[in-house]
Amino acid sequence: MSLTQYFLNNKLKTKNQKLQDMSSPNSFGNAYSFITFGESHGAFIGVVIDGIKPNIPIDADTIQHDLNRRKPGQSSVTTPRNEPDQAQIVSGIYDGKTTGTPICILIKNQDQRSKDYGDIAEILRPGHASHTYLQKYGVFDYRGGGRASGRETALRVAAGSVAKQILAQKGVKIIGFTRQVGDVRSDVSPDTVNVATIESNIVRAPDAASAEKMIAVIHAAQADGDSIGGVVEVVVKGCPTGLGEPIYHKLDADLAHALMTLGAVKGFEIGNGFESVRLRGSQNNDPYYKDEHGNFRTTTNKAGGVVGGISNGEDIIVRIAVKPASSITKPVKTANRNGDMVDFKVEGRHDPCICPRVVPVAEAMVALVLLDHIMLQDRIAPASDQERVRQKLAVLDAEMELLSMQRKLYEEELANLSKTPVEA
């Protein structure tokens, strides 16, 4: 290895180390990263986003629109908690464009009712994180669940909205919807789903007929003091080919990880997913052909747009299983922290089905993964003529720095030799 190669490799190693050091239990992403903070019943929740270049147009109203799609109190199938979820952009965006510095967004908690939780401070709530948090940390904020609360997902939506806007500028469109509630499933093709229909009904179903049936199922569970789960689907159109890092950061693996970090999600699939186990290879494979633009496409899309962990240019189609909300008014028996069995039911305001509010969160997590991978891919993409010249200049600068260091060493050696007495 030459001195120049050694010098450049060390610089690259330092950059990679910085990326690794960014990881923390409260952060997500590599090239495009964010960290969230705050609790459900604290004064504020917030997110800090890093890694965005300057001068990228970002619309604050679009961020607020996405937050409004997730916020509570939207309809009869969501919790009546009255949180406006007003985004306060503290830094990183000026005059409608990114500045290149971290973007900080704050959301004030305005409708906490901590007294609703006073009677359950010592109870291990079924389906909630109280027991596991106590085992891990020795302390748990029982008021709404603290960091374990779904309230934290508002911050993901804010970070994801920024990502979605950048992706839209690259021709990438992300559409989420409720595919299923209980036993009611919509059969609308992912090829034909459209945002207008999805946003026209309170469950965010892709068709009106399924929406009516889903609403009836949710209201029935609600009347019984219970809740119901479902399936949320996300379709990505216009995704570029080549995204995904073998072996341990495959695109589908990172999508699974991102979506499984949502507290209510208990299952993930891509493309045919679990249905593929019923098929033979001849039925499950996606044959290739070349289209009129000279691009290779597949005649079917059972893989869901990802093959070998790398995007193939087809629509990415992922689905997540969303469990029934754990907070229900139906009485159950459970243990308290002393081990005594007690009667328990949840008071306060809660969602009978969280699928409609999960839709914008799922879209956000998919967007965050895609933008992160696009930014990582840009680092290894073929360089432009200008970039190639810049790289050559960088090599010359490195060589000149090394030559300068070598010259100093020779000067010091010459000076030392001049001081040495000459033997007779």
- Name the residue with higher pLDDT: 123 or 83: 123
Kindly state whether residue 12 falls inside one of the protein's structural domains.
no
Say what the alpha-carbon torsion angle 145, 147, 149, 153 is, to the nearest 10 degrees: 170
CB-facing half-sphere around the CA of 423: CA atoms within 13 A: 0
**96-112: pLDDT as tens digits:** 999 999 999 999 988 65
**125-178: pLDDT as tens digits:** 888 888 888 888 888 777 666 677 888 999 999 999 999 999 999 999 999 999
Kindly state whether residue 254 falls inside one of the protein's structural domains.
yes
Domain harbouring 124, CATH code: 3.60.150.10
Kindly state whether residue 81 falls inside one of the protein's structural domains.
yes
Identify the weakest region by mean pLDDT among 94-98, 194-198, 222-226, 356-360: 222-226
**113-137: pLDDT as tens digits:** 545 555 677 888 888 888 888 888 8
Residue 124 and residue 130 in contact, taking contact as beta carbons nearer than 8 Å: yes
How large is the average pLDDT for residues 376-402?
80
Residue 131, helix vs strand vs coil:
helix
Buried b (16+ CB within 10 A) or exposed e, 311-332: bbbbbbbbbbbbbbbbbbeeee
pTM: 0.83
Specify the pLDDT at position 383. 61
User: Which residues share a beta bridge with 236?
Assistant: 174, 316
CB-facing half-sphere around the CA of 328: CA atoms within 13 A: 23
C-alpha span between 364 and 232 (Å, rounded): 13
Max Cα distance, the chain (Å): 111
Kindly state whether residue 7 falls inside one of the protein's structural domains.
no
Q: How many domains does the chain have?
A: 1
Q: Please work out, in degrees rounded to the nearest 5, the angle formed at the alpha carbon of residue 137 by the alpha carbons of 131 and 139.
A: 70
Kindly state whether residue 391 falls inside one of the protein's structural domains.
no
Q: Name the residue range of residue 83's domain.
A: 31-378
Percent of the chain that is helix, strand, coil (3-state, to 5): 40, 20, 40
C-alpha span between 114 and 118 (Å, rounded): 7
Fill in the amino acid letter for 180.
Answer: Q
Kindly state whether residue 416 falls inside one of the protein's structural domains.
no
Question: The tokens 């009978």 sit on which residue?
Answer: 352
Alpha helix stretches (DSSP H) within 71-152: 130-137
Kindly state whether residue 144 falls inside one of the protein's structural domains.
yes
Distance of CA 319 to the CA centre of its chain: 14
Identify the weakest region by mean pLDDT among 4-13, 114-123, 280-289: 4-13
Q: Which phi and psi angles does 245 have, rounded to 5°?
A: -120, 105
Residue 42: band (very low, low, confident or very high) from pLDDT cuts 50, 70, 90: confident
Kindly state whether residue 146 falls inside one of the protein's structural domains.
yes
Identify the weakest region by mean pLDDT among 30-39, 55-64, 345-354: 345-354
**317-368: pLDDT as tens digits:** 999 999 999 888 898 899 988 899 998 887 766 789 999 999 999 999 999 9
